Structure 1
Amino acid sequence: MDRLLEVNNMHTSFQTYLGEVKAVRGVYFHLEKGEALGIVGESGSGKSITMMSIMKLLPENGKTTADSIKFLDKDLLKLNNKKMEGIRGNDIGMIFQDPMTSLDPVFKIGHQLAEPLIKHKHMNKEDARKKVIEMLKLVKIPSADKRINQYPHEFSGGMRQRAMIAMALICNPKLLIADEPTTALDVTIQAQILELMKDLKTKLGMSIILITHDLGVVANLCSRINVMYGGMIIESGSTRDIFYNSKHPYTWGLLKSIPNPMEDIKQRLKPIDGTPPDLLKPPAGCPFAPRCEYTMKICLSKLPGAFKIDENHFSLCWLNHLNAPKTDKISGGVIKNEI
């Protein structure tokens, strides 16, 4: 597979009246063409800021540095705002968390979807209108030729989310970033949106980065998962690795918080005790150490490196060190039965 996106040692911070908030700390990851990658973690773990940094959509007090952020062999860090405008919405589409706040309430849906076609593809209004209707039909919005003349408040929550997907895909981007695309939707609509994204990925041959706090959402769509915590990727591997052979206590905590219908003995879902670290003063050691039941002395003072579990699976946890005490979970994973 060809590499579409490669991020090397990216840091993002925000200057506030309290000091510097180090929101993303030394992130490395890559994405292949046609691949779906899941980024999971609690709120505040750095998932959305990582993507906003790549897109250069940070507020004025935000700053991003990196060795490189390569997209289609271009280093995005070196591009000025005008060149980035040619990439955003054209080569990279993004679905934001809340479609009601992302869609402009004073413009009709058709106008908002046609705008990127006129800007990036230089279409006239009639051709853009035909393309908008075609795209609304693709995302399964009924009566598309009538719906283009309606305002966002006239759409249901699920239909607004479909309209946002249509807007993100209107220019046939090579990469779609979906930031919590199902959070505000009921379970039935969630399943429909995820199935739609899976279908569009196959039809259009695009790559997807799916941001979510729910591991269950990424199970059927993504082939690889990055687990984020405290502004860092603390475990990365294939979906099977993360679900059945995870090697970080934080990942175990996430897995324990979702139901497993295949377990012989039903168990209560267990939340992760404690709160995420204060990124105004990031801890010297493992960011998860204060909440971890396996914390050792070294965890509090020294950040672990990336321990390689196999070719495409690594974990930032001292329990993977050769001299670390052994636990049943390090040797066997936390899910005994396949879903």
Structure 2
Amino acid sequence: MEKLLKVQDLHTSFFTYAGEVKAVRGISFDLDRGEAIGIVGESGCGKSVTMMSILRLLTDTGKIKKGNAYFEGRDLTKLTNEEMLKIRGNEISMIFQDPMTSLNPVFTIGDQLREPLIRHKKMNKAEASKKAIELLRLVGIPEAEKRLKQYPHEFSGGMRQRVMIAMALACDPKLVIADEPTTALDVTIQAQILELMKELKNKINTSIILITHDLGVVADLCNRINVMYGGIIVESGDKRDIFYRTAHPYTLGLLKSVPNPKTLVKERLKPIDGQPPDLIQPPIGCPFTPRCQFAMKICAEKQPPYFEINEGHRSACWLNHPDAPRTIPSLGRGRE
């Protein structure tokens, strides 16, 4: 079956007064229909820029230099602005990170929910209002008719995020991109939003790309995970591979820096020392080398290729080379 989305060797740069920032440096991944995948990494690794490149929402200084993003066989990087306007919000929608800045404060919630329905579905105002009420009910907002007339500042953070999800689902898109949808919410609301997204995925079979730095969030929602660092994907696989057969030191560092509520052994959390690489002058070798406790000479000299750990699980780390030392039990061989 044809993949819903197939990204191949995507390179995106920002041209600033300080120089060219190579934010995305050769990203490749795919997405099946009805599947949820996660893109994980710390701030500045290129997660959001990858998605903005796919949607062609880059700022004036941003440019896709190379690569393709095929959505149902159409290369989004080659479409005109008019063609992209028909796709954004209609076939691909996005839930942005901060709903307070994403919702327009001078328009009511009803106005903002009706707009994509009138533009893409050609509904009149009455039809769009009826659909908007259904959407608010779908995402668990009570008194939907009353809420249509209210403004974003009259909603709590969790309710605003639910409105953003309702807007993203308004035109029954085939793909929803969620950019850290639970970052600004407390843990109780986070759990409710994730449960809502799972229910909606199962009900309407929408594919989801979840961008986050929280491994716990992706474990709950996603089937496959891509771990990004320094503008590249350093490890990808299903969630069991990522959590229990870790094959890259950066992934291992992420896992050790978050608490595991299921373990019976008390372990001190260990942050990843150092700073992310300067993408104006990206390293010629593995970008994680300066922060990696297992780094070897070759790591600084040459970017590692992707090593196939098992079917569907690959890692860009020299420790997975057949001739690499096997002194690190957590890498290369997996850890059950």
TM-score range, shorter chain: over 0.9
Q: Give the C-alpha shift of residue 295 in structure 1.
A: 0.4
SS of the residue aligned with 2:28?
strand
SS of the residue aligned with 1:220?
helix
Q: Give the C-alpha shift of residue 333 in structure 1.
A: 3.9
Task: Give the corresponding residue for 1:85.
Answer: 85
Task: Give the corresponding residue for 1:12.
Answer: 12
Q: Is the 8 A contact 1:8 1:66 kept in 2?
A: no
Task: Give the corresponding residue for 2:160.
Answer: 160
How many angstroms apart in 2 are the aligned matches of 1:148 and 1:66? 43
Task: Give the corresponding residue for 2:184.
Answer: 184
AA matched with 1:59: T
Q: Is the 8 A contact 2:11 2:67 kept in 1?
A: no
**Residue 74 (str. 1) matches residue 78 (str. 2):** no
How many angstroms apart in 2 are the aligned matches of 1:193 and 1:274? 33
Deviations 1:22-78 (A, max 9, x none): 000000000000000000000000000000000000011110133321001111111
Q: Is the 8 A contact 2:309 2:332 kept in 1?
A: no
Task: Give the corresponding residue for 1:222.
Answer: 222
Q: Is the 8 A contact 2:2 2:72 kept in 1?
A: no
How many angstroms apart in 1 are the aligned matches of 2:102 and 2:53? 18
Q: Give the C-alpha shift of residue 263 in structure 1.
A: 2.4
Task: Give the corresponding residue for 2:280.
Answer: 280
Give matches, 1:1-339, under 5 Å: 2-326=2-326, 327-331=328-332, 333=334
Stretches of structure 1 that go unaligned for 5 or more consecutive residues are: none
How many angstroms apart in 1 are the aligned matches of 2:107 and 2:289? 49
How many angstroms apart in 1 are the aligned matches of 2:44 and 2:277? 9
How many angstroms apart in 1 are the aligned matches of 2:178 and 2:318? 32
Deviations 1:140-188 (A, max 9, x none): 0000010000000000000000000000110000000000000000000
How many angstroms apart in 2 are the aligned matches of 1:20 and 1:256? 33
AA matched with 1:101: T
- TM-score, length-normalised on structure 1? 0.97
AA matched with 1:190: Q
AA matched with 1:207: S
Q: Give the C-alpha shift of residue 2 in structure 1.
A: 4.2
How many angstroms apart in 1 are the aligned matches of 2:215 and 2:319? 22
How many angstroms apart in 2 are the aligned matches of 1:67 and 1:152? 38
SS of the residue aligned with 1:314?
strand
How many angstroms apart in 2 are the aligned matches of 1:102 and 1:206? 22
Q: Is the 8 A contact 2:6 2:71 kept in 1?
A: yes
AA matched with 2:330: K
SS of the residue aligned with 1:303?
coil
How many angstroms apart in 1 are the aligned matches of 2:262 and 2:156? 34
SS of the residue aligned with 2:221?
coil
AA matched with 1:308: E
Q: Is the 8 A contact 1:9 1:26 kept in 2?
A: yes
Deviations 1:267-323 (A, max 9, x none): 011110001000000001000000000000000010000111112010000000011
SS of the residue aligned with 1:59?
coil
Stretches of structure 2 that go unaligned for 5 or more consecutive residues are: none
Q: Give the C-alpha shift of residue 331 in structure 1.
A: 4.9
Percent of matched pairs sharing the same residue: 67
Equivalent residue pairs, number: 335
How many angstroms apart in 2 are the aligned matches of 1:136 and 1:48? 27
SS of the residue aligned with 2:330?
helix
Q: Give the C-alpha shift of residue 258 in structure 1.
A: 1.3
Q: Is the 8 A contact 2:320 2:332 kept in 1?
A: no
SS of the residue aligned with 2:29?
strand
How many angstroms apart in 2 are the aligned matches of 1:262 and 1:280? 41
Q: Is the 8 A contact 1:110 1:149 kept in 2?
A: yes
Q: Give the C-alpha shift of residue 261 in structure 1.
A: 2.4
AA matched with 1:198: K
How many angstroms apart in 2 are the aligned matches of 1:80 and 1:186? 40
How many angstroms apart in 1 are the aligned matches of 2:262 and 2:124? 54
- After TM superposition, the structure 1 stretch with the greater mean CA deviation from structure 2, 257-266 or 24-33, is 257-266
Q: Give the C-alpha shift of residue 259 in structure 1.
A: 1.2
Q: Is the 8 A contact 1:286 1:300 kept in 2?
A: yes
Q: Is the 8 A contact 1:110 1:132 kept in 2?
A: yes
How many angstroms apart in 2 are the aligned matches of 1:12 and 1:213? 21
How many angstroms apart in 2 are the aligned matches of 1:124 and 1:25? 44
- TM-score, length-normalised on structure 2? 0.98
AA matched with 2:176: L
Structure 1's consecutive aligned runs of 4 or more residues displaced over 3 angstroms after TM superposition are 331-334
Q: Give the C-alpha shift of residue 215 in structure 1.
A: 0.4
How many angstroms apart in 2 are the aligned matches of 1:86 and 1:258? 41
Q: Give the C-alpha shift of residue 19 in structure 1.
A: 0.5
